[in-house]
A and B are shown apart, each in its own frame.
Chain A
Amino acid sequence: MDIKEITILGGIGKNGEKELLDTVSLKMGDVISIVGPTGSGKTALINDIELFANRNTPSKRKILINGTLPPDEFTTDPSKNPIALITQHTNFLSDLPVHQFLTIHAKIRGAGRSETIVNETLEFANQLTGEPINEHCAMTELSGGQTRSLLIADAVIIGNSPIILLDEIENAGIHRTKAIELLKQYKKIFIFVTHDPRIALLSDFRVCMKNGSMQSLIVTDREEKKAAEEIKKLDDLMLEFRTAIRAGGHITFKGLEERLKALGYVV
């Protein structure tokens, strides 16, 4: 099935009151963010999408694909499921070796030539991790960041899913800017749950959550896009420091001063 659009029909918030937004539509190629305080229901919202909720989850939301109810095969046959969800708490429980697990998953997903697909997946994942994944080690031995990287790669390459939901990509210590750069090469619907201003401002629009309910839809306008350029520089600077500290370096005040000045800030 060719995915053109996904629609979220609003339900109720945690207090049982009707959600302020009653329809949110995402078109193929859209990148959107979901923002809001912790506990505000961001994860619950993407879970609803992934489950093709039909007024049967606590939020009573309903999900439409191309304007109609999604076919049963989306949930009964993994190879037909257009959605990949990378959850917030990812821990593998299977002690299968990485390579074997990916091979099985590729087969289930009907991804074709499993050997090349699996290698491609590992290659993608390794661009996001600090230390490369050993394909012979058990899935349970992977670090949090490696796990997350592998799941993203699995969703994009093996799943080849047209709709990708990512819960707090920034949290696992992977190269998130690299991840987004890589992801944006693919034409898909991306939904990022995030607390990170840089990611939020990268999206076409964002849904703001409060108390379990979709409160508002904010389009990233010209002004925000301009501000985003500056935020990007500051964020890169932070990443530089992070890299330095990770590599065992030492941070000096003078170094910080120079970098800020180079960006055009007075210290």
Chain B
Amino acid sequence: MKVIVCAGPPTSGKTTVLKQVSKILKEKGHRLAYLKIDVQFANEDILFKKEFDIPTKKVYSGDLCPDHCNVVVLGDAIKWAAEEKADILIVETAGLCLRCSPYIERSLGIVVLEATSGMNLPRKIGPMLTLADVAVVTKIDLVSQAEREVFRANVNEAAKHVAVVETDALHGINIGHLVTRIERTQDISAPLLLRGNPPVGTCTICVGKKEIGKEAHFGVLRTLETDIFYRGE
């Protein structure tokens, strides 16, 4: 079974891209399963079930970082998809942390970025872009060719080895290139490992301490002026 992990900022067009992809993959006879990981609201599971009649699931990460949630649930999800006899598991995730990558080794990591999102976005999202295999740039129908070229150059500069596919996802333009990449992806196999190195430390803020100021916290800290340091046992 192949695993496709698709991440990207909210409303960047992940679902629209994955729908175009699913349509073609289904026509080619693949058996799909679809999982959505989001923070607090998602209806893609219903959408994909209805439109493609495939097994779907959703998980709310709630208080967990979505990438963290991804790590925790993906093992079960792969088992579930295998039981459903899928040959491709598609995972759509918000990927909000911007410090860790949501992709696992030997999966196909797809990051979806909007061409409309500002020239500097590629520099801002870290491993979600740099550890991806393919960057899909959506909404090219809304920007001038000149800006599209500059945006693409910024993606290439931030992540040299990531292939770029530019698309008007509403019309499925260039989606064929993405489908080819998916079909060329190897099958997933143990051990399941997250790509890249997650940020160090478990932070007190993430676990719910709301007080502002370094005095109230443990672990990896910094002041406005100094570099990071460690406090705790």
The docked-state distance in angstroms from the alpha carbon of A85 to that of B146 is 9
Q: Chain B's nearest CB lies how many Å from the CB of A149?
A: 13
Per-residue CB proximity of A191-212 to B under 8 Å, as 1/0? 0000000000000000000000
Stretch of B3-11, B66-74, B149-157, B192-200 that contacts chain A: B149-157
Chain A residues with Cβ below 8 Å from B152 are: 78
Given contacts A51-B174, A56-B176, whether A105 and B144 have CB atoms under 8 Å apart is: no
Q: Name the one of B141, B144, B173 contacting A92, with C-beta atoms under 8 angstroms.
A: B144
A:81-133 near B, CB below 8 Å: 81, 84-87, 89-90, 92-94, 96, 101, 104-105, 108-109
- Which range contains the number of B residues in contact with the other chain? 20 to 34
We find that the number of chain A residues with CB closer than 8 angstroms to chain B is: 30
Q: Chain A's nearest CB lies how many Å from the CB of B100?
A: 29
Whether the Cβ atoms of B146 and A105 lie closer than 8 Å is yes
Residue of B nearest to A59 (CB): B171
B:157-174 near A, CB below 8 Å: 164, 166, 171-174
Q: Chain A's nearest CB lies how many Å from the CB of B185?
A: 20
The docked-state distance in angstroms from the alpha carbon of A92 to that of B145 is 10
Whether the Cβ atoms of B173 and A105 lie closer than 8 Å is no
Question: Which of B145, B146, B150, B171 has the largest number of chain A CB atoms within 10 A?
Answer: B146
Whether the Cβ atoms of B144 and A86 lie closer than 8 Å is yes
Q: A35 near B: Cβ within 8 Å?
A: no
Whether the Cβ atoms of A96 and B174 lie closer than 8 Å is no
Closest 3 CB pairs of A and B: A78-B149, A108-B153, A94-B119
Q: What are 8 A-B pairs at a CB distance below 8 A?
A: A56-B176, A58-B171, A75-B166, A87-B144, A101-B150, A104-B150, A108-B149, A108-B150
Known: A51-B174, A81-B149, A158-B146. 20 other contacts (CB 8 A): A47-B141, A50-B145, A56-B174, A57-B171, A57-B173, A86-B144, A86-B145, A87-B145, A92-B147, A93-B143, A94-B119, A94-B147, A96-B119, A101-B146, A101-B150, A105-B149, A105-B150, A151-B144, A151-B146, A159-B146
